[in-house]
Structures are given as C-alpha cells and as structure tokens.
Amino acid sequence: MQKQRHLDPAGYLSNRTIVALCSPTGGAISAVRISGADTHKIFDLLTGAKSSPANERLAKRYWLKDHAGRKIDDVIGVQYFAPKSFTGEDVVEIFIHGSPIIAQKLIDEVIGLGARVALPGEFSFRGVKNGKMRLSQAEAVKELVAAENDFSLGLALDKLSGTQHEFIEKIRNELMQLLALSEAGIDFSDQDLDEVSLPALKKRARTVLDLLTRLSGSFDRGKRFVDGIPVALFGLPNAGKSSFFNALLGEDRSIVSDIVGTTRDVVREKINLRTEDHGSTVTFRMADTAGIRKSQDQIENIGINRSVKSAQEADVVILIIDGKRAQIDEIFEAASSVDLSKKSLIAMLTKKDQMGDDEQVKVKAALQNKFKGISVHAVSSTTLDGIHDAARALARLGTECLKRKPGEIVLTQFEQVEAVNRAAKGLKEADKTADIVLFATEVRHAMNELGPLLGETVADDVLGKIFSDFCIGK
C-alpha cells in the first residue's frame, strides 16, 4: 500500500520526518506513526491543535482534515516529545478507523507537509541511533513481530529484556581483563609473575573460548526455535504417509493414491501444534517423503534417496506403518538406512479403522522392543480417529526438543554467529602463539569482533542492511 515517494538519497542516515502505517488496515483500528523534527508542526496542521508538552502521552480525540479543510477521519492521537519516545525524536501515533483509504489519505497529507515514507525498520533504526534501545533489542522487536510459536516469542522477549546483551557483554569484559593482563605481562616481562605469564593467560583464554564455542553451537537450536523443528515422515510405499500428512495439516497438500510410488519428491509444509491444556505452541517443518523400497525406476530412486537424506537431516522422524498389513521386518530394514540413534522417534500405525486391537498391541510391542522409548499411536486419516492425540504427542516431543536450561542463550541471527565465530578464531590463534605480544593482539581482535553484537562499531551500511529486513512501520 505504501509507495516510496520522495526518495531520500541519505536513506537511513536522513534526518527528515518520516511516516508509516504501523499496523494492518482492514480491521477496526489502524495506527500511523510520524517521527522527526517536524512531527508536531505537521500534526497541528492536520488537526488544528496546538502541540504542547502538557499533552504528552495523553490519548486525545481529534478531527483530521486535509489541506483543503475536508474531514478525513475522527481519530485518537498520542504525542511524544523528544527524547521520551520510541525513536528518541518527536513522535505522534494516530489511531484511525481501519479503512485503507483513510490510511492512504492521511499518509498522503503528511507527505504533502514535508515528510517521507519510512524505510523498513527506520523507526527502530532511529531508536538505536538515538540511544533508546540496543541493537540486539531492536532485532528482538523484529523477532517479536515474526514470532510464530511460544518458543520464538520467549527468545525474542528474553532478547528484548537484554539477557543476550548482558551475556555477551560479560564475555567482552572478560576479554578486556585478559587484554589488560596480557599488556601487563608485556610491561613486566622481565619479572616472574605467574598471573600474567603466557601459560596462565592461555588457560584463561580457553575458558572464554569455551563460552564462545557453546554460543556458536546454539545457532542450530536457534533456527529450530524460529523456523521450526525439521520432521520427516518415513516408511514403506502406500503406508499412508501422505494421507497422515494431509490429515495433520487439515488440507490436501500431498497427492494420495493406491498406486505404489506416487510420492517421488519431498513435499514440505510448516505447521504449528499446541500441547494439551492450551500449553506451548511448537512449529514443525514437516516433510512428506517417498516410500522406501527397492525400485528399478530411476526417478523413483531419486525420490527415495531424498527421503533418506530428509530423515538424516531431521530432528524428529515419524515412522509411518500400514496398520492393515504391518510389515515390521520391512520397516526395520528401511529404517536401517538412516542413523536413528540421535533422532526423536514417534510411530504412527495408520488405517486404525481397519486394524484389530490385538494386531495394534502386537505391532506396538515389536516397535517398542526395537526402538527404546518410542511413542506409538494408532490413527485413521480417513475418520481422523487418533489424529488429534497424535498431534498433541508430536507437540510434546517438540517441546522437549526445545526446552531451554535456565539462563541459556540461543543465537538466532546468522550475522551474530559469524561475529562469535570470528572472535573464537582470534582466541584459537592466540592459543597457538608463543609470543605474548601476538597473544595480546589476537585477544584484542577477538574483543573487537564482539562489538557489533553489542551495537558498537557497526558501520552505517551494515546497520542499514540489518534494518532493511524489518517491516515498514517498525
């Protein structure tokens, strides 16, 4: 809806007043935000009001009018005066009725009075530039907006509260102390001081390196929190994988047929599942795969190889077993093509409506004897009997996969893990050197690499790149 008119060559570094819709239109209420030096002057021209700090943060009713004096809308406006605002500048937030036409008319009038449309994330950019929030907190705002489940929401809230910043700052402070000791070791190299000897300094550096290594390793987990846990449906042809996939999604996403080998590629879809009693929501990246069998069909074999690869890369593997003709030996042979020792396993006996109770008990026992701790569920994708229970069991499994230890920090941004890896590389180089001067140099490099994570020493073009991924209005 918002077009980039009156483009400003200064981009994110511009000081011009900016405007943007900061909520969707089409509902009862929408919000438009204006920020910059001319904000209150523009607001006064739109409403006929006289801005005063006495009205700061008061929600007041106004009539908005265009340049010809025609009414646009009956609104609520809230004024903020610098530096006590989200951006650190003068800000007005105008709550209008949710019509897209009203929003467009208002934005057009604000632009006509000298403002321009905000760039993606420009309000947050100005908040960071003016010291109203840290870079990590601004990124948390973006992650809050994008959160699809309780776990990604919890991570974003922790980040917004400053937990991640404090942890990384603690590491950086430790490196500062290490650098100070290193430089003291250089100055007093003619004295036998154990605390500033190179072996003692290296021992201390290895402790910091261990923290950085664990922090870097958290990135894969972070992707699971934000993007979802990878799950592969795995089984023999015609076992009911695609039918179960569709039943779980509540839509016909995969082709279902009695013809063996119908699924020849991996079909992927995201799904959010909630544990019982309105518990946590978990996002899964589901993959419906080709049935595993020996085939002479070259195309089908490509699909089978992709099935094995998908199962190898998944955190959770769902064994799909035809309950009507449970081919236990064959499924065990197919499962041997994947290392399942580190996977979370769950089994679905399909076609429950065509399977006797005695057969269910027999197959469950065989599976639980083969795969210790596996959860087994009987389902019917036709009648949907058992699908709800199966979904809740999968959600519980996902909750266990994503459970965080108290105080655990999880990285979610690629740029963050890259900075941590560069810092870790500096400490590894420091550990190799036999010269205390080179050791101090590498420690300094490692310390500087953490600067961007703390919102320090970030180049303006890099900041612009970070905020360009935000939505307009944030």
What mean pLDDT is predicted for residues 432-456?
89
Q: How far apart are CA 20 and CA 119, in angstroms?
A: 9
* pLDDT number for residue 403: 87
Comparing CA positions, the residue from 342, 336, 338 lying closest to residue 310 is 338
- Residue 2 placed within a domain: no
What mean pLDDT is predicted for residues 266-288?
84
- Among the three residues 98, 133, 168, which one is the final residue of a domain in this structure? 133
For 222-256, the pLDDT digits (tens) are 999 989 999 999 888 888 888 888 888 886 554 44
Map residue 368 onto helix, strand or coil.
Answer: helix
Looking at the fold, whether 249 and 357 belong to one and the same domain comes out as yes
* pLDDT number for residue 277: 61
Contact 86, 123 (CB under 8 A): yes
Helix (H) or strand (E) holding 233: strand 229-235
Looking at the fold, whether 398 and 250 belong to one and the same domain comes out as yes
* pLDDT number for residue 463: 62
Q: What are phi and psi of 308, to 5 degrees?
A: -65, -45
Q: How far apart are CA 350 and CA 332, in angstroms?
A: 17
Looking at the fold, whether 19 and 87 belong to one and the same domain comes out as yes
* pLDDT number for residue 260: 47
Across the beta sheet with 91-97, the strand order is: 60-65, 71-80, 91-97, 29-35, 18-21, 116-117
- Residue 465 placed within a domain: no
- Residue 120 placed within a domain: yes
- C-alpha dihedral, 56 to 62 to 65 to 71, nearest 10°: 170
What mean pLDDT is predicted for residues 389-399?
91
Looking at the fold, whether 110 and 78 belong to one and the same domain comes out as yes
- Residue 472 placed within a domain: no
pLDDT at 84 over 90: yes
Q: End-to-end distance of the chain based on CA atoms, in angstroms?
A: 16
pTM for this prediction: 0.75
In this structure, the number of other CB atoms found within 10 A of the CB of residue 405 comes to 5
For 139-170, the pLDDT digits (tens) are 888 888 888 898 899 899 988 888 888 999 99
Q: How far apart are CA 454 and CA 138, in angstroms?
A: 11
* pLDDT number for residue 7: 60
Output the domain CATH number for residue 428: 1.20.120.430
| Alpha-carbon separation of residue 432 from 31, 76, 174, 188, 326 (angstroms) | 57, 64, 20, 22, 58
Report residue 121 as tokens. Answer: 């994330």
pLDDT at 190 over 70: no
* Chain mean pLDDT for the chain: 86
pLDDT at 386 over 70: yes
* pLDDT number for residue 357: 82
Looking at the fold, whether 236 and 346 belong to one and the same domain comes out as yes
Could you write out the DSSP letters of every residue in 102-170? HHHHHHHHHHHTT-EEPPTTHHHHHHHHTTSS-HHHHHHHHHHHH--SHHHHHHHHHHHHTHHHHHHHH
What mean pLDDT is predicted for residues 206-211?
96
Looking at the fold, whether 248 and 219 belong to one and the same domain comes out as no
Looking at the fold, whether 112 and 55 belong to one and the same domain comes out as yes
- Residue with the larger pLDDT of the pair 307 and 388: 388
pLDDT at 300 over 70: no
What mean pLDDT is predicted for residues 69-80?
96
Output the domain CATH number for residue 125: 3.30.1360.120
In the numeric block, the tokens 């020849």 are attached to 264
* pLDDT number for residue 252: 57
What mean pLDDT is predicted for residues 189-197?
74
pLDDT-derived band at 451 (thresholds 50, 70, 90) equals confident
Looking at the fold, whether 280 and 319 belong to one and the same domain comes out as yes
* Of 88-97, 254-263, 278-287, 457-466, minimum mean pLDDT range: 254-263
What mean pLDDT is predicted for residues 375-403?
90
Looking at the fold, whether 195 and 292 belong to one and the same domain comes out as no
Q: How far apart are CA 44 and CA 79, in angstroms?
A: 11
pLDDT at 333 over 90: no
For 86-121, the pLDDT digits (tens) are 999 999 999 999 999 999 999 999 999 999 999 988
Output the domain CATH number for residue 278: 3.40.50.300
Looking at the fold, whether 382 and 239 belong to one and the same domain comes out as yes
- Residue with the larger pLDDT of the pair 266 and 174: 174
- Residue 322 placed within a domain: yes
- Among the three residues 367, 402, 437, which one is the final residue of a domain in this structure? 402
Report residue 77 as tokens. Answer: 């406006």
- Among the three residues 133, 163, 188, which one is the final residue of a domain in this structure? 133
pLDDT at 172 over 50: yes
pLDDT at 19 over 80: yes
- Which range of residues forms the domain containing residue 352? 228-402
- Residue 467 placed within a domain: no
Comparing CA positions, the residue from 272, 254, 251 lying closest to residue 263 is 254
* pLDDT number for residue 82: 95
* pLDDT number for residue 254: 47
Angle at the Cα of 412 (from 345 to 407), degrees rounded to 5? 80
- Residue 468 placed within a domain: no
Q: How far apart are CA 293 and CA 148, in angstroms?
A: 36
* pLDDT number for residue 206: 96
Exposure string of 257-287, with b = 16+ CB inside 10 Å and e = fewer, is eeeebbbbebbebebebbbeeeebbbbbbbb
pLDDT at 262 over 60: no
Looking at the fold, whether 328 and 254 belong to one and the same domain comes out as yes
Highest averaged pLDDT of the listed ranges 92-106, 147-161, 334-348, 369-383: 92-106
* pLDDT number for residue 407: 81
Across the beta sheet with 229-235, the strand order is: 267-274, 281-288, 229-235, 316-322, 344-350, 375-378
| Alpha-carbon separation of residue 102 from 15, 32, 55, 65, 116 (angstroms) | 27, 11, 25, 11, 17
- Residue 58 placed within a domain: yes
Contact 56, 35 (CB under 8 A): no
Looking at the fold, whether 204 and 331 belong to one and the same domain comes out as no
DSSP H helices, 147-297, are 150-161, 163-187, 198-227, 241-249
Report residue 434 as tokens. Answer: 């036999």
What mean pLDDT is predicted for residues 422-432?
95
* pLDDT number for residue 259: 41
- Reported as half-sphere exposure (CB side, CA atoms, 13 A), residue 208 has a value of 31
Contact 2, 21 (CB under 8 A): yes
* pLDDT number for residue 256: 44
* Structural domains counted in the chain: 3
Highest averaged pLDDT of the listed ranges 78-92, 324-338, 362-376: 78-92
pLDDT at 257 over 60: no
Contact 175, 208 (CB under 8 A): yes
pLDDT at 446 over 50: yes
pLDDT at 15 over 70: yes
